[in-house]
Amino acid sequence: MPLNYDHLMGLKRDGDRFSYTDRETMLYAIGIGMGADPLDRNELPFVFEQPLLKTVPSMATVLTRVPLLKDCGYDYTRVVHGEQGLTLHRTLPAEGELIASARVTAAYDKGDGKGAVIYTETVARSAADGQAMFTLRSVTFARGDGGFGAPAGSGPAPHAIPDRKPDATVALATSRDQALLYRLNGDRNPLHADPELARRVGFPAPILHGLCTYGVACRAVLQAVVAYDHTRIAQFNVRFSAPVYPGETIATDLWVDGTMVSFRCRIPLRDNVVVINNGKCLLAS
């Protein structure tokens, strides 16, 4: 069935349970490139459980895969991840059990042939005490589904990047097998593994998951801004603007204004194409 605005706005789920162990925590860190140098004392605590395993804050994006939009009516083959937001209410533990609630918060109609924009929110709580752990906000762009009767527009304006030279730039290489590693976190979309399918839909090779690039950006903030103190990151929001190919180096430009970190990711060897824009990280004081 095609998209229906009233049906879409009524979508919600409560009580989905998810659990993870230190294995998933280490696998996520390795999936975004941590531990590539096993002698790096700053990154080792994210991939080795002794004496105390640290968690990458962006890991929250893979811990609750709620199928909220499954069978909602959009053309799955033409859907892209537009934006991702994360608010951490507490530091992620290295293992735990979560209870998630999810809902559609807004939808916009860009018009026939121009697509639909769908905003969703997922709140994850600790199963142990019922307290909120994190909130995810995601924007889905359904390119083939405009003209379904929602309000016109695209939603709120994104975070503005400062108009000055960045205060720091961090270049982090991805490996050619990065997408094959990252997909073990749960996103098995064949676009990230099957060369034939990738070519069929217009890419010269399988592309890296957007959320993997998101994790690499989080690594850059950990490295350059908070000295790998994972407890400092309280919010992490981005807009995706272009795909990354495994093996490319991602340069993250950072602007630091007190507890506000603005950032943008680009690919230097591909004419500095911007792959993440309007990045906003809030730090805990």
**Spatial separation of the C-alpha atoms in residues 272 and 235, rounded to whole Å:** 26
Amino acid identity of residue 32, one-letter, is I
Which residue, among 159, 234, 268, 212, has the nearest Cα to 31 in the 3D structure?
212
* DSSP-derived secondary structure for 111-122: -TTT-EEEEEEE
- Give the distance from CA 283 to its chain's centroid: 18
Say whether 187 is catalytic.
Answer: yes
Q: Among the options 109, 192, 209, 253, which is catalytic?
A: 192
Say whether 257 is catalytic.
Answer: no
Name the DSSP class of 62.
G
Which residues touch 138 (CB under 8 Å, ≥6 apart)? 81, 83, 84, 85, 119, 120, 121, 122
**Spatial separation of the C-alpha atoms in residues 176 and 171, rounded to whole Å:** 16
User: What is the CB neighbour count within 10 angstroms for residue 12?
Assistant: 14
Q: Among the options 16, 22, 40, 187, which is catalytic?
A: 187
User: Catalytic residue positions?
Assistant: 187, 192
